[in-house]
Amino acid sequence: MKKLFAALLSAAMLLSLVSCGGDTATSPAPSAPAAESESVSSTFKAAMVTDVGGINDQSYNSMSWAGMQKAHDELGIDVKYYESKTDADYEANMITAIDEGYNLIICVGYLMVDALSEIAPQYPDTKFAIIDAYVDEPNVTGINFASEQCSYLVGVLAAQMSQTGNIGLVMGGTGDAMNLFAFGYYAGALDTNPDIAIQAYNANNYADVAGGKSAALHMYANDADVVYQVAGSTGLGVIEAAKEKGLYAIGVEVDQSYLAPEAVITSALRLIDNAVLQVCQAAMEDTLEGGISMYDLSNNCVGYAETDLLSAEALSAVQDAQAKIISGEIKVPRTNDDFVAKYGAGLYTLDEALNG
């Protein structure tokens, strides 16, 4: 009997907890609409759909959500995210967001291209934005980053910081989007030091840490002392190699110096959060246009990370380059033709050199 009482009591406690919780948790709810009614637009709602990386991926999805939260704080719009666990979720998530009345739906990542090209024409009144991709519909905005600009800046830094005049590049794959990184890096390095030697390697894999490491070790053995990685997890191996050899590596996407503060001299940043915030604002003000929107240095959506390892000389050179890119004095090549026209053929050729 005692046990039964205990069980009943604990059940009662559990229930009371639940009901208390209900009260405390609902109490902020009424205040939320009040706060909204004060702000300019209470009706605008923006949602984002994550790719299979999930909301806590510390990368695209996390940064996009950070941008959405900024948009909530600064613009007072309603924001929400829908998490995708598998490919099958993309479409379902978009549809749910549409059903719930969201005006703008941001799709994080090119994996959603197929799903979006199916959904967008069905819902012409909803605005869509997709990161790093593009779908040819009037209500879709492609959020594209000037990856060549931030790569140019880290190329300048690599050439400045290299003692040997020999630097490296490890790529996770090729393709138009990936090549932007390579063009920018080459251009930045060559503009700084026309005689610089650049070793490039295409791992053709974004998840091969060991492969990235051995490629970087190979480059360091061949006199390179700075290696730039654009290779996802494969790039983590590059940073590991730099740490081991006491040489330098350059990170990508986010400031990766936390991985190895003594080895990562800078990182090519793509500030997805800023871009997402700008997209939300444009959509709210109804100025968001379909087509590809470029997010670059001029609107603070790409950049480089500063660390203590960078010399004063290198810093002033990179600030100079940044100002020149923004003013249009330096045009960083975006296509192979532009690159070859300015720097000559044979330096960076898509198929041969990268597979070295």
> Is 320 a residue that touches other proteins (CB under 8 A)?
no
Nearest partner of 153 among 316, 350, 303, judged by Cα: 303
Nearest partner of 348 among 217, 211, 168, 157, judged by Cα: 168
CA–CA distance, 257 with 142 (Å, rounded to integer): 29
* Residue among 44, 65, 82, 248 that touches other proteins (CB under 8 A): 82
> Is 6 a residue that touches other proteins (CB under 8 A)?
no
> Is 13 a residue that touches other proteins (CB under 8 A)?
no
**Cβ atoms of residues 46 and 78 within 8 Å:** yes
CB of 26 to other proteins, least distance (A): 5
346 residue type, one letter: G
* Residue among 8, 39, 58, 118 that touches other proteins (CB under 8 A): 118
Q: Write phi, then psi, for 207 (nearest 5 degrees).
A: -130, 20
* Residue among 76, 123, 173, 309 that touches other proteins (CB under 8 A): 173
> Is 178 a residue that touches other proteins (CB under 8 A)?
yes
> Is 72 a residue that touches other proteins (CB under 8 A)?
no
CA distance between the termini of the chain: 78
CB of 20 to other proteins, least distance (A): 8
- Kindly state the tokens that stand for 278: 């700008």
> Is 8 a residue that touches other proteins (CB under 8 A)?
no
> Is 345 a residue that touches other proteins (CB under 8 A)?
no
57 residue type, one letter: D
Q: Which residues contact 305 (CB under 8 A, 6 or more apart)?
A: 251, 255, 256, 257, 266, 267, 269
CA–CA distance, 92 with 94 (Å, rounded to integer): 6
Residue with smaller CB distance to other proteins, 20 or 210: 20
* Residue among 30, 33, 34, 99 that touches other proteins (CB under 8 A): 99
Please count the residues of this chain forming the interface with other proteins, following the rule CB under 8 A.
Answer: 38
> Is 291 a residue that touches other proteins (CB under 8 A)?
no
> Is 18 a residue that touches other proteins (CB under 8 A)?
yes
CB of 91 to other proteins, least distance (A): 6
CB of 53 to other proteins, least distance (A): 6
Residue with smaller CB distance to other proteins, 97 or 198: 97
Helix (H, G, I), strand (E, B) or coil at 351: coil
- Kindly state the tokens that stand for 7: 């069980």
* Residue among 36, 91, 223, 338 that touches other proteins (CB under 8 A): 91
> Is 175 a residue that touches other proteins (CB under 8 A)?
yes
CA–CA distance, 201 with 356 (Å, rounded to integer): 6
**Cβ atoms of residues 218 and 144 within 8 Å:** no
Judged by CB under 8 A, the stretch of 64-72, 95-103, 139-147, 267-275 that binds other proteins is 95-103
Residue with smaller CB distance to other proteins, 23 or 195: 23
> Is 352 a residue that touches other proteins (CB under 8 A)?
no
CA–CA distance, 83 with 75 (Å, rounded to integer): 23
> Is 176 a residue that touches other proteins (CB under 8 A)?
yes
**Cβ atoms of residues 241 and 217 within 8 Å:** yes
CB of 236 to other proteins, least distance (A): 15
Residue with smaller CB distance to other proteins, 118 or 320: 118
140 residue type, one letter: V
Stretch (H or E) spanning 102:
none
Q: Which residues contact 30 (CB under 8 A, 6 or more apart)?
A: none
Question: Which residues make up the interface to other proteins (CB under 8 A)?
Answer: 3-4, 14, 17-18, 20-22, 25-26, 29, 52-53, 80, 82-89, 91-93, 95-96, 99, 111, 114, 118-119, 173-178
